[in-house]
Amino acid sequence: MKMKMKMVPVLLTVVLFPVSTRVQGSETVCPSELVEAVYSEDTVLPCHLEPPTDATDNRVEWRRGNDVVHLYQGGKEDPAEQRETFEGRTSLFPEGLTKGNLSLKLSSVRLEDSGSYLCSFHTLDQSCLVNLSVGKFGAHLWFILLICCRTVCFC
């Protein structure tokens, strides 16, 4: 006795989830207040993900206008597109990336570094602005000058 097999069409549904699902619900956050820096010193331009989310496998980009200030992608720093004036002067905090810290360290700050910087986290397609002002003297020097001025009375 031969059995006859019958073909029954089966619908198979495959659901693909993007790798970036773990960052959904996060947003890129920058301070609203001006960041003040002193000429030739180092400063940090704050930017982070809220709630904190691991950013190590994602693209983080810092720009000033059309210039690439710093680019992190593929799990490492990528200086290929970086503007020459920032070469060797920028870095992220690798240990902080796991906690959503996208802040940029800018070393040996120059007067021409003043301006607005855009912090972008491409997985979320979000960005925020940080405004930097660079001066020749820090607040501590103005305090010393004020004390000297009041003590010596030559003002």
The tens digit of pLDDT for each residue in 120-151 reads 998 878 899 999 999 987 655 444 444 444 55
* pLDDT tens digits, 79-96: 999 999 999 999 999 999
pTM of structure: 0.74
Give the residue numbers spanning the domain of 98.
Answer: 27-152
Contact (Cβ atoms closer than 8 angstroms) between residue 38 and residue 107: no
What would the pLDDT profile of 27-72 be if each residue is shown by its tens digit? 999 999 999 999 999 999 999 999 999 999 999 999 999 999 999 9
Q: How far apart are CA 86 and CA 112, in angstroms?
A: 11
Q: CATH number for the domain including 85? A: 2.60.40.10
- What's phi and psi for 142, nearest 5 deg? -65, -35
**Residue 13 is assigned to a structural domain of this protein:** no
Task: Please give the tally of structural domains in the chain.
Answer: 1
